[in-house]
C-alpha cells in the first residue's frame, strides 16, 4: 500500500515537471507583444553573489573564474566571498581575484562559537552588500556564462522573491559518483515539482536567489540561526509563508550550477545526514507526510530484506523492488534529459539497493544523531 501511494506521488511529480515552462522560470511568462520587450531585458537588477568558503583552496579558483566570465554588466554585479575560518590557502586564492570580488573574514565578525557558521557568513555578507537580488552559491561550484542573466530574467519576468535553481553533479568516476549524480537528478526533479506547485519548500544552497526585500521582511535567519543547516530551505519556508506564490523554480539550462560529488562514503553520509537534520525543524504538515512516506517505503523494503534473510520469500522482495524502480525510472529519466545525463540511467536499477540503505541511515541519523561537516562536529 505504501509503495502504491509512493508510485502515485512520483507520477504526480512527473506530470508537474513536464508542465514547468523550460527557460522561463517557475511561472508562465506574461503575454507581451515582441515589439514591446525591452532590448536589455534581464540586465537591470543589481545582483550580489555570496560565496561562503571554508577550506576550498582547491576549488574556489574555478568558481571565481566562472563568475568572472558572466555575461552580465560588471557595474550591476558584486561578488562577496566569506572566508569561514579556513585553515588552508582559501583566503590567499580569493585575494588573487581582488579586482573581481570582496573578501570578508568571518573571524572578524563573531565573538564565540556558533552552531551555524554558514548562516552567519551569508548574514554578514548581506550586511556589506548593495544588491537588490541576493544570489548564493558554494565555493566548490562552477556555472555557465549566462547563469546570472538566467536568474535575473526569471526574477524580473515573473516578479518572484525567491528562486530555487537547478544543481547538477558531474560524476568524475566511480560507482559512488554515479550514484550521487542519479540521486541528485531525482532530488532536482522533486524540487522543481514541489516549488512550481507551491507544495513545500525545497531548494539547494548551491544555487538560489532571493530579494533583499524578502530577506529583511522575514527577519533573515532570525529564529533559525541556531540550526546548523537550513540556510536554504528554512529561509525559503519563511519567505514562502510570508509571500505566498512568490517562490519559483528556474527550469532553465543556463541557470544550472555544476558541483562535484563527495569523494568518499564518510563525506557522502555526513552530507546527507546534514540535509536530513533540517526536517525536524520544518513544522510543515505536507513536508512531514511526504518525507514520512518516502522513509516508510524505504524502511519497509529494508525490513523485508532483513526478514528474507531468515524466512525466505525473496520473490516478494524482488517484485516490490522492481515496482519501486519502475515507478521512479521514467520520472528520473525525464529530469536526466534536462540535465543532459540520460546516459547514466543504465545504472539506475543497480543503484536501488544502496539508495534504500542510505535513505534509512541518513534519515535516522539526521533526526537523532550528530554529524561532521567541514571538519566541524555538528549537533
User: What separation in angstroms does the CA of 310 have from each of 194, 225, 263, 303, 354?
Assistant: 40, 47, 35, 11, 21
Three-state DSSP string of 268-279: HHHHHHHHHCCH
Q: Which three cell numbers stand for residue 227?
A: 540550526
Q: Note whether 17 and 335 are within 8 A (CB).
A: yes
Task: Give me the chain's average pLDDT, please.
Answer: 88
Delimit the domains of the chain by residue range. 2-12+285-378, 20-29+40-264
**Residue 192 per-residue DSSP state:** H
- Buried b vs exposed e over 159-183: b needs ≥16 C-beta within 10 Å? ebbbbbbbbbbebeeeebbbbbbbb
Mean predicted confidence (pLDDT) in 345-365: 89
Q: What is the pTM of this model?
A: 0.88
For residue range 314-340, list pLDDT tens digits in order: 888 999 999 999 999 999 999 999 999
Helices (H), 165-245: 175-196, 212-217, 233-242
- Sequence-distant (6+) residues with CB within 8 A of 126 are 48, 50, 134, 212, 215, 220
For residue range 34-64, list pLDDT tens digits in order: 333 333 344 589 999 999 999 999 999 999 9
Distance of CA 375 to the CA centre of its chain: 21
For residue range 150-205, list pLDDT tens digits in order: 999 999 999 899 999 999 998 777 899 999 999 999 999 999 999 999 998 899 99
What pLDDT is stored for residue 373 in this prediction?
A: 56
Query: Does residue 93 surpass a pLDDT of 90?
Result: yes
What pLDDT is stored for residue 30 in this prediction?
A: 36
Integer-rounded Cα Rg, in Å, for the chain is: 21
Query: Does residue 379 surpass a pLDDT of 80?
Result: no
For residue range 240-294, list pLDDT tens digits in order: 999 999 999 999 999 999 999 988 888 888 877 777 766 666 666 777 888 889 9
The architecture that CATH gives domain 20-29+40-264 is Alpha-Beta Complex (3.90)
Amino acid at each position: 500500500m505504501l509503495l502504491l501511494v509512493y508510485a502515485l506521488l512520483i507520477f504526480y511529480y512527473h506530470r508537474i515537471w513536464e508542465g514547468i515552462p523550460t527557460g522561463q522560470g517557475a511561472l508562465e511568462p506574461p503575454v507581451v507583444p515582441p515589439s514591446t520587450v525591452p532590448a536589455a531585458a534581464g540586465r537591470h537588477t543589481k545582483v550580489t553573489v555570496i560565496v561562503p568558503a571554508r577550506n576550498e583552496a582547491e576549488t574556489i579558483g574555478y568558481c571565481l573564474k566562472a563568475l568572472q566570465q558572466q555575461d552580465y554588466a560588471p557595474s550591476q554585479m558584486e561578488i562577496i566571498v566569506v572566508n569561514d575560518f579556513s585553515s588552508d590557502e582559501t583566503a590567499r586564492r580569493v585575494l588573487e581575484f581582488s579586482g573581481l570580488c570582496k573578501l570578508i573574514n568571518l573571524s572578524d565578525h563573531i565573538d564565540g562559537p556558533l552552531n551555524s557558521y554558514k548562516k552567519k557568513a551569508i548574514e554578514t555578507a548581506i550586511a556589506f552588500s548593495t544588491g537588490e537580488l541576493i544570489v548564493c552559491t558554494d565555493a566548490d561550484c562552477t556555472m555557465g556564462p549566462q547563469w546570472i542573466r538566467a536568474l535575473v530574467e526569471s526574477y524580473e519576468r515573473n516578479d518572484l522573491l525567491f528562486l530555487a535553481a537547478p544543481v547538477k553533479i558531474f560524476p568524475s568516476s566511480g560507482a559512488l559518483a554515479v550514484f550521487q549524480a542519479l540521486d541528485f537528478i531525482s532530488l532536482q526533479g522533486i524540487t522543481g515539482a514541489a516549488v512550481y506547485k507551491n507544495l513545500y519548500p525545497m531548494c539547494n544552497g548551491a544555487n538560489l536567489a532571493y530579494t533583499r526585500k524578502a530577506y529583511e521582511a522575514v527577519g533573515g535567519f532570525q529564529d533559525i540561526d541556531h540550526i546548523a543547516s537550513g540556510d536554504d530551505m528554512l529561509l525559503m519556508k519563511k519567505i514562502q509563508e510570508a509571500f505566498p506564490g512568490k517562490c519559483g523554480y528556474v527550469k532553465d539550462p543556463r541557470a544550472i550550477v555544476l558541483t562535484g560529488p563527495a569523494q568518499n562514503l564518510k563525506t557522502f553520509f555526513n552530507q546527507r545526514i546534514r540535509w536530513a537534520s533540517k526536517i525536524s525543524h520544518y513544522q510543515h504538515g505536507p513536508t512531514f507526510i511526504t518525507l514520512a512516506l518516502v522513509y516508510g517505503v524505504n524502511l519497509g523494503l529494508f525490513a523485508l530484506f532483513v526478514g528474507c534473510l531468515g524466512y525466505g520469500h525473496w520473490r516478494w522482495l524482488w517484485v516490490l523492488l522492481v515496482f519501486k524502480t519502475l515507478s521512479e525510472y521514467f520520472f528520473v529519466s525525464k529530469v536526466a534529459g534536462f540535465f543532459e545525463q540520460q546516459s547514466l540511467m543504465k545504472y539506475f536499477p543497480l543503484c536501488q539497493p544502496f539508495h534504500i540503505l542510505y535513505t534509512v541511515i541518513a534519515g535516522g541519523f539526521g533526526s537523532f544523531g550528530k554529524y561532521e561537516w567541514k571538519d566541524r562536529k555538528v549537533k
